[in-house]
Structure 1
């Protein structure tokens, strides 16, 4: 157990400031990746911790704790890479794109893919699984229609995170309700006030954007050409759609994500060998280094030459580096010092809820992990909500509005790097089009400042809460 010491605020913000400055220069000016800036931030954080009396052994352990927290995400990331390789090689993605091009019109595509991803994520409770399966096919369909990749990615992200946020099967939804001792369905119902308006606004924006891609603005010959290339390059069969449907059903039935993805991988592998007519060597290569094909069609080649375990190593390495930085900040008390300073400013109930939303985003940026953005603020703000007589569902909603949704806007956050590895679109490009993800936090802050839907504890609930606290102290 790492002994957390009191950390002065001015010291706690040094690693954060250094990391942000170096990150800005590296990404914006030098156009390089975020790995090195995160390593620089980790190094500065370690130096600050040493200067505050922490032993190197404790600092090292804090880094390992951060990495251990991200290990489940790392495993999922690797399996998604393998799944993409298996499903492309097995013709599953090609089949989904083929029928998508046949059914969905360009003008309605952004709205359609948002709704489809929302329904699937709501059913299975996972934005990552939705983006790694339906999202990959959606990128192919949209690109074939001439729609820019950032717009497609933004719509996929909006739909996926709506379903994830509102699903009783979602880990973040259960985490936020559990940590705040809020009934799961009370928590979900309270989120409707911010999430439904957010979805409506997103769909309106996508409907307006979609008008630019009506029949008059899209060369249907390109779509037909893509369909012909898919038919020539893959065996297209509606039976192949059973595989993604099966994976979705398994997860909806509460089968853990890892075995469900493994079943999808095995079926994709067998499809490449026995349906697409490939050999075992090529199918294994697709799992390891990704599927390769040369059709002569630039768009198809760029879309299908991808996937595999190797394609996710950039994402895995960034996740590990980011979590070393976040681990030191959390377990040496630096993050606590920063949040405590915020609590001094947030004196009213209105400012407390708004501060929670902002703090969750700040935690996403500093600790690089969506789960930490829920866990740490829930610890820091729980007593403050009780003292101000606010119902715990206000805190649980703020955690999701500010934590779950904003993780996609941080390039070095596990969610940001996953989306880059899965959909192939950088954070800064898709961010303006992930409408639901930035609209809901704004709505949440507006509600907080106006007091709309902010529920206070009744006298009876306050009395029961004090009795529970009293009994727990006596025990």
Structure 2
């Protein structure tokens, strides 16, 4: 068996850069799926690790560790695909749209979407829970109002990750505190400094875009409501399904159990209320719901539609497992920060590295954990570990859903049935928060951390 402790990864440093470059080119220039460049980078990772001297059994175990770390997400994807299809086929979403269209003010809808998502995410502390419940409802209502789906999705995702960053019950908040060795309450006080400005600016931007966006006239909306009535049996009872999902999320029931319960109940109510045959409903849960004429916006869901996304997650997590165990990420973090002394340069450097980790590992958690665990001792000794926590919250947490192939973006896009590439420009809060962090750090530009700078490892 190879003694991996004595091996220095020379060529194994290249796959992260190959992955980032090919993913960006594939998505932005060639308009390809992220699967192909990710598979290419994964094979390069294996080949270069073997050339560097790592044993094939070590590489296999490392890849397996990476896959095991995301197995829960794979199960969630499967259940989420089935649930969305069943909510569509069973009339749950049609019912929510029907009542919602009669209550909202179209011009202020984007502001309402953002604020409602913020409120729910603060209460339940989970972005996915917010997006997959309230977000799905708001998307349906927005489509009924003829608002651009990418704008609505941007507002939902921005509001959902507001809570992911700063909610007192957010797992991301506690993970950031744990890996940096800090207290949650101290981090919250510091994070408020970069919360107010982007929050206010985001509301203003959604107000402006809402006023400028065309919406359906009253007559058209009335026709749409009649279409819903003629194609679905609409009943307030169907609203109990998302309400139950929300209640279970509030009482901290596991997201997997929550999804499974709702899938079963949605299947039963779909048979009872919409009179859909069991075989047809099972097929739609797997392949997706085909909407009736005039209601094409209600098509989607299904386990099958998410298989390509699952493959991205599996390949990315396997590659990340190899890169972590070979020590590539740790060294990549340390070397660039070795000679940084000013606070602004330090903040900017860590944020860039967090973004690179989001791109290569495709997970929010690893982009928090790797720099947090690597740099916390140096921050405690030469700076303030609470500041490290804030920097990670304002980069690794909020920027994850803005990278189209990151799991946060994939999950958000899948739940809302919008390509992440389309909504990222409209998730204003997620762009403004890291920019605000950089502005705040300018006030400490002259501060020096240690004689040789933070992160000076030999």
Deviation at 1:12, TM superposition (A): 5.1
Deviation at 1:6, TM superposition (A): 5.9
Paired residue for 1:431, among 424, 432, 453? 424
Deviation at 1:106, TM superposition (A): 1.6
Q: What is the match of residue 454 of structure 2? A: none
Cα distance change on mapping 1:119 and 1:23 into 2, 3 Å: same
Q: What is the match of residue 279 of structure 2? A: 281
Paired residue for 1:357, among 348, 351, 359? 351
Deviation at 1:13, TM superposition (A): 4.3
Cα distance change on mapping 1:449 and 1:330 into 2, 3 Å: farther
C-alpha separation in 2, matches of 1:409 and 1:198: 16
Paired residue for 1:222, among 220, 223, 229? 220
C-alpha separation in 1, matches of 2:340 and 2:67: 32
C-alpha separation in 1, matches of 2:339 and 2:137: 46
Deviation at 1:285, TM superposition (A): 2.4
C-alpha separation in 1, matches of 2:344 and 2:378: 12
Cα distance change on mapping 1:6 and 1:376 into 2, 3 Å: farther
CA contact (8 A) 1:354 1:444 kept: no
Deviation at 1:200, TM superposition (A): 1.6
C-alpha separation in 1, matches of 2:75 and 2:195: 30
C-alpha separation in 2, matches of 1:93 and 1:5: 57
Cα distance change on mapping 1:4 and 1:323 into 2, 3 Å: farther
2:446 is aligned with 1:448: no
| TM-score, normalising length: structure 2 | 0.91
CA contact (8 A) 2:133 2:246 kept: no
Deviation at 1:2, TM superposition (A): 9.0
Q: What is the match of residue 262 of structure 1? A: 260
Deviation at 1:166, TM superposition (A): 2.1
| TM-score, normalising length: structure 1 | 0.88
- SS of alignment partner, residue 263 of structure 1: helix
Q: What is the match of residue 337 of structure 2? A: 343
Cα distance change on mapping 1:2 and 1:84 into 2, 3 Å: farther
Q: What is the match of residue 170 of structure 2? A: 170
- SS of alignment partner, residue 451 of structure 1: coil
CA contact (8 A) 2:23 2:37 kept: yes
Cα distance change on mapping 1:131 and 1:28 into 2, 3 Å: same
CA contact (8 A) 2:120 2:130 kept: yes
Paired residue for 1:396, among 389, 396, 401? 389
Any unmatched runs of 5+ in structure 1? 457-475
| 345-354 vs 190-199, greater mean Cα deviation | 345-354
Q: CA RMSD in A?
A: 2.2
- Give a deviation string over 1:323-348, Cα, whole Å, max 9, x none: 12222222211111211112214223
- SS of alignment partner, residue 418 of structure 2: coil
C-alpha separation in 2, matches of 1:79 and 1:20: 30
- Give a deviation string over 1:392-450, Cα, whole Å, max 9, x none: 22122222211111111222211122223222322322111111111111111222232
Cα distance change on mapping 1:212 and 1:218 into 2, 3 Å: farther
C-alpha separation in 1, matches of 2:401 and 2:336: 23
Q: What is the match of residue 291 of structure 1? A: 289
| 275-284 vs 199-208, greater mean Cα deviation | 275-284
- Give a deviation string over 1:264-301, Cα, whole Å, max 9, x none: 2222112111122223223322322222332x20xx22
Q: What is the match of residue 189 of structure 1? A: 189
Q: What is the match of residue 452 of structure 2? A: none
Moved over 6 A (4+): none
C-alpha separation in 1, matches of 2:213 and 2:122: 28
Cα distance change on mapping 1:189 and 1:354 into 2, 3 Å: same
2:384 is aligned with 1:386: no
Deviation at 1:373, TM superposition (A): 0.6
- Give a deviation string over 1:47-77, Cα, whole Å, max 9, x none: 2222222111111222111111111221222
Q: What is the match of residue 466 of structure 1? A: none
Deviation at 1:136, TM superposition (A): 1.9
Q: What is the match of residue 471 of structure 1? A: none
- Give a deviation string over 1:118-165, Cα, whole Å, max 9, x none: 112222221112212222222222122222121111111111111222
CA contact (8 A) 2:35 2:308 kept: no
CA contact (8 A) 2:300 2:417 kept: no
- SS of alignment partner, residue 103 of structure 1: coil
